[in-house]
A and B are shown apart, each in its own frame.
Chain A
Amino acid sequence: MKLLEQSYITPVGYRDFPFAYVYDGSGLTDATTYQDIQIPLQGDSDFILRHIAGVTNVVNTAALGGKWNFKGHSRQYAIGNQSTGIVAFPNWPVVPEKKFAYNESIWIDLYNVLRGNNACSGTPVYFSSIAFFGVKRFRDAAGYRTQQTNYRYKEMTQRWEFSLTINQPAYATGTTTPNPPQRFIQLMDNFDFELLRISIGQNGSTGTLQTQDFSVTLYDPNMHQLSNNPIPQGYFNTGKPTPQTQPAYQGCFPVPSLVYPAGSSITMDVTSLLCPAQVPQTYDVSFEGIWRLPC
């Protein structure tokens, strides 16, 4: 029998990279039920689904009939209630993982939609997204990037602290036209850095950032996006609201970890979800990981 505790082994001939398919539900209509919403894969690789975050931001509360369901690669439901769905959770692990081939789609049902939003005085700013976290699985022969460091090294814990200031609201002044994302860069100026997780706090606050003030598209060192749409910050923020409280979405990203070689950058496009009266806001972003020190 194979041991569950054994470290995960990617099939021979393949390599895995972290990725999230993000479904943006802002275009849905509240109090409506949708079945068979299609989320097509990008077509460049297989996708291995490992957990789903944020369904609670797209459907109503359990008491008011908000429910959901989803289908695996053969369009078979993963949950038994095929016509009524089940109560939504902030985080739904998929164990064992589900594999979707490169040309397939993820399908979801949403019952009694209620889009999560930041209620500004004018048009609400929606953060109603569902993130399907997992890995893209590429063939070695595809020549995709490796995660290796080309020198002997020892590991040392390291955190890159980044001050993030958002100075624009979600919509351009006086309109409902979304402002474009702002790009922020943290240079890896010394050694290779293995990124393990990201914590985000609001400047001056005692606990982690719990509101969806912005969403993020993270890039790998070769400027490949790690999600097809921006991910609301709470879905991957590993900071704790209080010492006794776990992060609401129990997120951790990127998984597996990602190596940024010396001279490269952690690049993120930040999409503001703030109301006009809230800007500017400053946040403390902590990129936690491992330095690979030459030895």
Chain B
Amino acid sequence: MSPSSKLLLNPYAPPAYNGFNDASPLGFIDVDFTYPYDVTLTANQFLRDQSISTTNDADFSWRGIVSAFSTGPFNIRFADSQGYHISNGMIVSANILGDAASPFPVFPEILIPAGGRIGIDIQDTSGNTNVIEILCRGVKRYRINQGA
């Protein structure tokens, strides 16, 4: 190997630690962002058509789900900003286990427009009060000012 040809990536490290190249679409810049959803359910409560409202400053490209915390099992179903459910039924919380470093992937990513919403149906299955936090990880997609 020649002295100068080597890229010093660390092959033992996860790709995120080595860095990802900027994959923002032309005319946009992606910025890491997480939308949380916090709820406290009473025993067996079923909340339909809940939502995480996205802010007006940028579209949100939704790439992962983290079941960050719960005091018991629950079922959940997500929808995009048009109300289109991304599963045909409720997902058991045990099937979306993960942590911030290994989230449940949303692939391909779902684009939620600025000022839009992520829809949520959620149901306690523990039979007790259930304190839950869900994180929707992804990027805010800011439009770059192209000038006049």
Give the residues from 193 to 222 in chain A that come closer than 8 angstroms, CB to CB, to chain B: 194, 196-197
Q: B21 near A: Cβ within 8 Å?
A: yes
Is B145 an interface position by the 8 A CB rule?
Answer: no
Chain B residues, Cβ within 8 Å of A133: 17
User: Looking at B7, B19, B36, B69, which has the most chain A CB atoms within 10 Å of its CB?
Assistant: B19
Given known A78-B33, A86-B135, contact A149–B3 (CB-CB < 8 A): yes
A-chain residues with CB within 8 Å of residue B13 when the two chains form the complex: 196-197, 252, 255
* Interface pair B11/A196, CB less than 8 Å apart: yes
Q: How far is the CB of A186 from chain B (nearest CB, A)?
A: 18
Distance, CA A149 to CA B5, complexed state (A): 10
Contacting pair A95 B32 (CB below 8 A):
yes
B148 close to chain A: CB less than 8 A: no
Query: What residues of chain B lie closer than 8 Å to A116, measured between beta carbons?
Result: none
B9 within 8 A of A: yes
Is A263 in contact with chain B by the CB < 8 A criterion?
no
- Contact A96/B31 with A50-B19, A250-B14 known, Cβ cut-off 8 Å: yes
Distance from A82 Cβ to chain B, minimum over Cβ atoms (Å): 10
In the complex, per-residue mask of A74-100: 1 if CB is within 8 Å of any chain B CB, else 0: 000011110010110111111111100
Question: Across the interface, do A152 and B36 meet the contact criterion of CB distance under 8 Å?
Answer: no
Within the complex, which residue of B9, B16, B22, B52 is in contact with A2, where a contact is CB–CB below 8 Å? B22
Q: Are A8 and B36 in contact (CB under 8 A)?
A: no
Please, how many angstroms separate the alpha-carbon atoms of A127 and B34 in the complex? 28
A72 touches B22 (CB 8 A): no
Interface string of B85-120 (1 = CB under 8 A from A): 000000000000001110000000000000000000
Q: Does A159 lie at the interface of the complex (its beta carbon under 8 Å from any beta carbon of B)?
A: no
Return the chain B residue nearest A11 by Cβ: B22
For A93, list chain B residues within 8 Å (CB): 14, 16-17, 100-101
Measured CB to CB, the residues of A under 8 A from B are 1-9, 48, 50-51, 62-63, 72, 78-81, 84, 86-87, 89-98, 133, 135, 147-155, 194, 196-197, 238, 250, 252, 254-257, 259, 288
B interface residue numbers (CB < 8 A to A): 1-4, 6-23, 25, 30-36, 38, 52, 55, 68-69, 71, 99-101, 131, 133, 135, 139
